[in-house]
């Protein structure tokens, strides 16, 4: 049998790269970027490149379960449908809720939204996209009259000035970052300004980095609007013809800052750098402002985005090549969710709750009871569960017990709900543990449908693997429940192409050019045409049969007057509180969301192996926190324990600490950062303020630290701190404990598996080394010590791959390395070629002092390129070390 080639789409970030997969039965060859896909033109970042390593069935949810016991689909669907009906008839439709995800395909989302908003009669369908880009949506709608991303990725390349705000695109949207990097290389006049409190990998291409005080960016953009006005640089013709409300916006903006000195004081950025940025903005027509979660995840995220859009409207920099405000979404199908009405304040096909929209949707769906008003947004939704107002909750493909603010309150809420249903592809998440009913969903590679990326491009996700066990696509599961509830006629779907067709027809229904979202050109496709659908940017209609790259080039907006609206923004600065630290959250390069897929790839796990917190050296020394030691972050909501990274003032501003969002109870003992975040959210969009939480930090002193390597997954360890990773040959835990090690060791020794033990112990130093060999193969290794640094372990990890230990290796086990051999790789910097930090430093010492030279010497950075900013940082640090050493010498 020859391998089957499938063209599909990456399921991670909002760039939406095309992927080529070759598979044969369950074997999936290393994936490649799809040359023909306009998002990536053949490239993939490190996460995308590892997709084939994530398709195994470990940890998969394989069967419907009820209270932990396997059941049948018939019983599970009957129970879910009956409970929904009972709750609706007893407490009304608003007592049920769905909570979806940007991981759902558009077809899944469409069916869920239709069931809730048209047939249950409530709008309590919200999604984790609320945490990602709800403020961007609200701002577009306030200004443009529609949720329309104005430009394309091509505009990012055509810009002469890229202003990147609250975005670490180098790690969060790597392929787009690489496109911008290449464009900058090709156009030496192109400037990049990064506005971010942190000095991130994205600053690698920055001509100017403005490390603004968190929450001061609205002030910055208002001051820029005033500056442009005072410099006579507004586009008065565009404003007069195509906009309304400039006077109020300018009046509000003028209050932001008196002069550059005042702005420096408010933003924490040098006045001279602010002046440079303002003059570049003034002098550069082709400007794109590219913004992401750093803007959206704030108490004033909508205002921030509108302050940005105000600037683009006032200068006429919208609807032109290389000029627009551009919000980038985090998730692969956040945009598809927006199109079908996945947010609780939308209906479907970019229609809202106006009587005319409701009536139109009611007629189209032939629906009994279209929701009359917006439903609960995410934070309010889980509060309503806690208050007993919502009695039935269905969570689809997401893990709110980790990602929601005040995550422990969400856990408590679920404990009080009459029925919690979770449909997911994974069995062991924090959220599946809180469910009464689990429904196994198909995963990437097993399901069929469409996704929309951040430039409005619809692409097909195509299946190439059979779903394991009883797993089924989400649209199928929801359809079965809807039918069981008595809505057979409205939910006749047998294939996602039928759902897509209905979705496209609804977008066209009584549209007549009044709504931006119009797929009339994609209606009536056969299943074969749907299967062959090429990536296309909406709208697709008579005017734009091949899709539309750029909106508003005609100066027409989707407001009642047809003019864009300036929104007056009153910039508010957050209160100063020097006693506590501001906790910022975000992504790391090689993991995605709550790691359920990326943690299956051992090479992705090796970039950053533990949850951590980035500290400025001043804050760390004030608190007695050492680089590499464990630290506890805490506030009155909870605490987490992570590894401290301490740096100088470039990476992290004093008074602030950064914590990645990914680690869950599956992968670490206590690192769910959501427990520390309060419920503050944007009053317009409802988006939680995930970037600013007040925390304190103190050392987490332990009696001993060490690591465990095991052939089998040992599950959660009985220790105060542990972090879990897959290795090439088994499983690995970092571990630490506040008590003496004996009890821990006893439990480990009792873990499954008979075999012979090798032991070394030095009780006085809590120094123990244990190895168990079963049938000639290495089965378990434990190294612990009061304060020994056990960085070197690759040789031991490799020994787990041996079919039979050789006698010399067996003797060397407790030394942890072969006699006189092996330099450990250190942290893996290039995940594609598994190049470690130690080899890179060695190559630099040999004279490879550019990223290109390192690439030639070691191949690092020559595939996906995601590690290039880190290579440059290591080169820079190494040169500082050499200089220091030379001086000392």
**Residues near ligand SF4, by CB under 6 A:** 10, 12-13, 15-17, 40, 44-45, 47-48, 173-175
Shortest Cβ 13–ligand SF4 spacing (Å): 3
- 3-state DSSP assignment of residue 581: strand
| Range 501-515 burial, b when 16+ CB lie within 10 A, else e | bbbbbbbbbebeeeb
d(CA 291, CA 325): 8
Shortest Cβ 192–ligand SF4 spacing (Å): 18
CA nearest 445: which of 17, 22, 111, 831? 22
Shortest Cβ 856–ligand SF4 spacing (Å): 25
Main-chain phi, psi angles of 275, to 5 degrees: -65, -40
Shortest Cβ 197–ligand SF4 spacing (Å): 24
Shortest Cβ 47–ligand SF4 spacing (Å): 4
Of 171 and 493, nearer to ligand SF4 (C-beta) is: 171
Shortest Cβ 503–ligand SF4 spacing (Å): 22
Of 44 and 370, nearer to ligand SF4 (C-beta) is: 44
Shortest Cβ 86–ligand SF4 spacing (Å): 42
Shortest Cβ 14–ligand SF4 spacing (Å): 7
Of 63 and 173, nearer to ligand SF4 (C-beta) is: 173
- 3-state DSSP assignment of residue 332: coil
Of 590 and 614, nearer to ligand SF4 (C-beta) is: 590
Report the side by side order of strands in the sheet with 536-537: 449-452, 457-461, 536-537
Q: Which single residue brings its beta carbon nearest to ligand SF4?
A: 48
In sequence order, the β-bridge partners of residue 756 are: 773
Question: Under a CB-based contact definition with an 8 Å cutoff, are residues 585 and 658 in contact?
Answer: yes
- Which structure tokens are listed for 358? 């409701």
Main-chain phi, psi angles of 362, to 5 degrees: -60, -45
Shortest Cβ 860–ligand SF4 spacing (Å): 18
Shortest Cβ 637–ligand SF4 spacing (Å): 31
Of 49 and 346, nearer to ligand SF4 (C-beta) is: 49
Give the strand pairing for 731-737 and 721-726. Answer: antiparallel
Shortest Cβ 597–ligand SF4 spacing (Å): 11
d(CA 325, CA 887): 48
In this structure, what DSSP letter does residue 634 have? E
Of 563 and 662, nearer to ligand SF4 (C-beta) is: 662
Of 664 and 863, nearer to ligand SF4 (C-beta) is: 863
Of 20 and 516, nearer to ligand SF4 (C-beta) is: 20
- 3-state DSSP assignment of residue 392: strand
Of 48 and 322, nearer to ligand SF4 (C-beta) is: 48
- 3-state DSSP assignment of residue 778: strand
**DSSP H or E segment with residue 604:** helix 602-605
Distance, C-alpha 351 to centroid of its chain:
27
Of 17 and 717, nearer to ligand SF4 (C-beta) is: 17
| Range 537-556 burial, b when 16+ CB lie within 10 A, else e | bbbbbeeeeebbbbbbeeee
Of 40 and 398, nearer to ligand SF4 (C-beta) is: 40
d(CA 413, CA 642): 26
Shortest Cβ 333–ligand SF4 spacing (Å): 11
d(CA 819, CA 231): 72
C-alpha torsion sign, points 289, 291, 296, 298 = negative
Of 197 and 330, nearer to ligand SF4 (C-beta) is: 330
769 Cβ partners below 8 Å, 6+ apart?
Answer: 758, 759, 760, 761, 781, 782, 783, 784, 814, 816
């Amino acid at each position: 049998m020859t391998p089957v080639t499938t063209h599909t789409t990456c399921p991670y970030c909002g760039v939406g790269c095309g992927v080529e997969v070759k598979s044969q039965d369950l074997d999936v060859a290393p994936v490649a970027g799809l040359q023909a896909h306009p998002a990536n033109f053949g490239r993939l970042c490190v996460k995308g490149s590892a997709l084939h390593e994530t398709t195994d069935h470990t940890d998969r949810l394989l069967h419907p379960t009820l209270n932990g016991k396997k059941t049948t689909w018939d019983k599970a669907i009957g129970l879910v449908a009956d409970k929904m009906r009972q709750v609706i008839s007893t407490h009304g439709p608003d007592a049920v809720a769905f909570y979806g995800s940007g991981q759902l395909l558009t077809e899944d989302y469409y069916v869920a939204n239709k069931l809730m908003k048209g047939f249950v009669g409530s709008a309590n369908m919200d999604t984790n996209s609320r945490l990602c880009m709800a403020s961007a949506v609200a701002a577009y709608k306030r200004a443009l009259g529609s949720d329309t991303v104005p430009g394309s990725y091509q505009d990012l390349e055509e810009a002469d000035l890229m202003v990147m705000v609250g975005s670490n695109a180098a790690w969060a949207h790597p392929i787009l970052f690489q496109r911008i990097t290449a464009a900058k290389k090709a156009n030496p006049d192109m400037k990049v300004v990064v506005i971010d409190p942190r000095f991130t990998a994205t600053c690698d291409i920055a001509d100017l980095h403005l490390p603004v005080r968190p929450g001061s960016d609205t002030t910055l953009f208002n001051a820029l609007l005033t500056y442009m006005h005072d410099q006579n640089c507004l586009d008065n013709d565009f404003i007069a013809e195509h906009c309304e409300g400039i006077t109020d916006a300018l009046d509000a903006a003028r209050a932001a800052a008196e002069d550059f000195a005042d702005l420096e004081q408010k933003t924490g950025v040098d006045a001279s750098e602010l002046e440079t940025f303002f003059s570049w903005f003034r002098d550069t027509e082709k400007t794109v402002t590219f913004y992401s979660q750093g803007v959206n995840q704030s108490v004033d995220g909508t205002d921030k985005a509108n302050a940005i859009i105000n600037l683009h409207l006032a200068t006429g920099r919208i609807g032109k090549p290389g000029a627009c405000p551009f919000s980038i979404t985090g998730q692969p199908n956040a945009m598809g969710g927006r199109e079908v009405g996945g947010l609780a304040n939308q209906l479907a096909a970019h229609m809202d709750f106006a009587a005319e929209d409701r009536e139109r949707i009611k007629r189209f769906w032939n629906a009994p009871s279209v929701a009359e008003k917006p439903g609960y947004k995410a934070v309010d939704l889980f509060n309503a569960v806690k208050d007993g107002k919502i009695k039935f909750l269905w969570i689809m493909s997401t893990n709110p017990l980790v990602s929601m603010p005040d995550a422990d309150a969400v856990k408590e809420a679920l404990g009080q709900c009459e029925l919690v249903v979770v449909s997911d592809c994974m069995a062991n998440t924090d959220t599946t543990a809180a469910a009464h009913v689990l429904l196994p969903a198909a995963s990437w590679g097993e399901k069929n449908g469409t996704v929309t990326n951040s430039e409005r491009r619809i692409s097909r996700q195509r299946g190439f693997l059979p779903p394991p066990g009883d797993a089924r696509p989400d649209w199928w599961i929801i359809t079965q429940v809807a039918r069981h509830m008595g809505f057979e006629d409205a939910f006749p779907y047998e294939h996602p192409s039928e759902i897509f067709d209905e979705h496209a027809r609804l977008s066209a229904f009584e549209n007549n050019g009044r709504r931006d979202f119009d797929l009339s050109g994609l209606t009536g496709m056969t299943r074969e045409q749907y299967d062959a659908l090429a990536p296309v940017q909406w709208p697709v209609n008579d005017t734009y049969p091949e899709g539309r790259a750029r909106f508003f080039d005609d100066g027409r907006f989707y407001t009642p007057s047809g003019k864009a609206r300036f929104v007056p923004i009153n910039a508010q600065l957050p209160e100063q509180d020097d006693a506590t630290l501001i906790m910022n959250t975000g992504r790391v390069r090689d993991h995605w969301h709550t790691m359920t897929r990326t943690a299956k790839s051992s090479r992705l796990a090796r970039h950053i192996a533990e949850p951590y917190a980035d500290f400025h050296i001043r804050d760390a020394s004030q608190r007695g926190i050492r680089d590499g030691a464990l630290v506890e972050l805490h506030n009155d909501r909870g605490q987490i324990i992570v590894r401290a990274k301490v740096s100088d003032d470039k990476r992290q501003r004093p008074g602030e600490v950064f914590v990645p969002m990914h680690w869950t109870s599956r992968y670490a003992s206590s690192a769910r950062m959501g427990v520390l975040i309060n419920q503050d959210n944007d009053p317009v969009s409802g988006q939680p303020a995930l970037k600013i939480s007040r925390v304190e930090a103190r050392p987490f002193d332990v009696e001993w630290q060490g690591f465990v390597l095991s052939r089998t997954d040992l599950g959660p360890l009985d220790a105060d701190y542990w972090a879990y990773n897959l290795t090439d040959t088994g499983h690995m835990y970092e571990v630490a404990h506040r008590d003496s090690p004996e009890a821990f060791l006893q439990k480990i020794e009792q873990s499954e598996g008979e075999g012979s033990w090798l032991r070394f112990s030095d009780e006085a130093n809590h120094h123990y080394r244990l190895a168990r060999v079963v049938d000639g193969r290495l089965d378990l290794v434990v190294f612990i010590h009061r304060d020994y640094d056990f960085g070197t372990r690759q040789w031991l990890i490799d020994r787990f791959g041996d079919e039979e230990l050789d006698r010399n290796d067996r003797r060397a086990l407790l030394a942890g390395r072969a006699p006189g051999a092996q330099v450990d790789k250190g942290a893996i910097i290039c995940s594609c070629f598994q190049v470690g930090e130690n080899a890179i430093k060695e190559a630099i010492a040999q004279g490879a002092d550019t990223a290109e030279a390192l690439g030639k010497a070691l191949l690092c950075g020559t595939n996906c390129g995601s590690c290039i900013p880190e290579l440059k940082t290591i080169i820079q640090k190494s040169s500082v070390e050499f200089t220091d050493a030379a001086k000392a010498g």
